[in-house]
Amino acid sequence: MRKPVMAGNWKMNCDNEEAKELADGVTAHAGQVEGALVILCPPATALTTVQSSIANSAIKLGGQNMFWEEDGAFTGELSAKMLLSCGCEYVIIGHSERRGRFGTMDEADADDLAAVFGDTDATVNRKIKSALAAGLKPIACCGELLAERQAGRTDEVVEAQVRAMFDGVSASDAEKMIVAYEPVWAIGTGEVCDADEADRVCGMIRATVADVYSQDLADGMQVLYGGSVKPDNVDGLMAKPDIDGGLVGGASLKADSFAALIESAAQSAQ
């Protein structure tokens, strides 16, 4: 039985004061929930603030990104060791807002300017291996662009991303990972993927993991859906057999709406 997961990706939101208020609110609502694994991923500047808020709860802390080197001349970057020292157990890797789809910012059209941070399948794989080597558990993201879906290429694109993220990762390390299926067109748009279709793609991801490793490993892996998950659509998603939880942006920024998502995840386990 896979434990349901609700992970909040706060993105570039919340200064330290706001982060404390939000983390305190989530902790008050859901700090002792046992039926679901709850992970908060605040911006790096708020990690230690949030860690203090959740210290006496079951809630876990995650980073939003990391670099694969341990230390050195990499201005602006954070290593796995640094995230661990702030209390992180998890780290989001390969979020679509960090995967580069373009050579330069000039090649991106106005709607795609968020996709300029340059992660590729290869760098995502490298970050995953570095996180695992240091003892952090990656929440590894994959998902197709709208144009790829419209061209009927969803499965091909997602399967290739999944195979690339696990390249060279041992089975004992893969067991520590969470995979998040996040169709890029559904992130932050209010346009949630149909629950049956999200479940189908999550099932395809699980089948790919079974092919790379084993059915046992795939059966134990938590596969999340992300993309406009809200209190009014979460139950339908959580009811699906291959969706083990959510990676949530917008709805994780309000303690009461995130608490409703946690509650739904915890209920789905019963």
Shorter beta-carbon distance to ligand PEP: residue 103 or 190: 190
Region near ligand PEP per CB under 6 A, out of 169-177, 206-214, 247-255, 262-270: 247-255
The residue within the footprint of ligand PEP, chosen from 226, 257, 260, 268 (CB under 6 A), is 226
Burial class (CB in 10 A: 0-12, 13-18, 19+), 259: buried
The residue within the footprint of ligand PEP, chosen from 53, 64, 228, 264 (CB under 6 A), is 228
Of 148, 182, 191, 197, the catalytic one is 182
Shorter beta-carbon distance to ligand PEP: residue 61 or 247: 247
| CA–CA dist 238, 269 (Å, integer) | 9
Shorter beta-carbon distance to ligand PEP: residue 99 or 129: 99
Q: Is 234 in the site for ligand PEP (CB under 6 A)?
A: no
| CA–CA dist 138, 176 (Å, integer) | 8
29 is catalytic: no
Q: Which residues in the 156-185 window bind ligand PEP by CB under 6 A?
A: 182
| Closest approach of ligand PEP to the CB of residue 170, in Å | 27
Q: Is 247 in the site for ligand PEP (CB under 6 A)?
A: yes
- Give the CB-nearest residue to ligand PEP: 249
CA atoms within 13 A on the CB side of 25: 15
Q: Give a three-class secondary structure readout of 30-41.
A: HCCCCCCEEEEE
Q: DSSP readout, 63-81?
A: ES--BSSSSSS-TT--BHH
The residue within the footprint of ligand PEP, chosen from 40, 248, 260, 265 (CB under 6 A), is 248
CA atoms within 13 A on the CB side of 65: 19
37, 38, 45: which is closest to 64 by C-alpha?
Answer: 45
| Closest approach of ligand PEP to the CB of residue 252, in Å | 7
| Closest approach of ligand PEP to the CB of residue 177, in Å | 16
77, 8, 5: which is closest to 44 by C-alpha?
Answer: 77
| Closest approach of ligand PEP to the CB of residue 248, in Å | 5
Q: How many angstroms separate the Cα of 107 from the Cα of each of 94, 100, 149, 226?
A: 20, 11, 21, 27
Of 95, 144, 148, 263, the catalytic one is 95
182 is catalytic: yes
The residues carrying an active-site annotation are 95, 182
Note the residues at the interface with ligand PEP (CB under 6 A): 9, 11, 182, 187-188, 226-229, 247-251
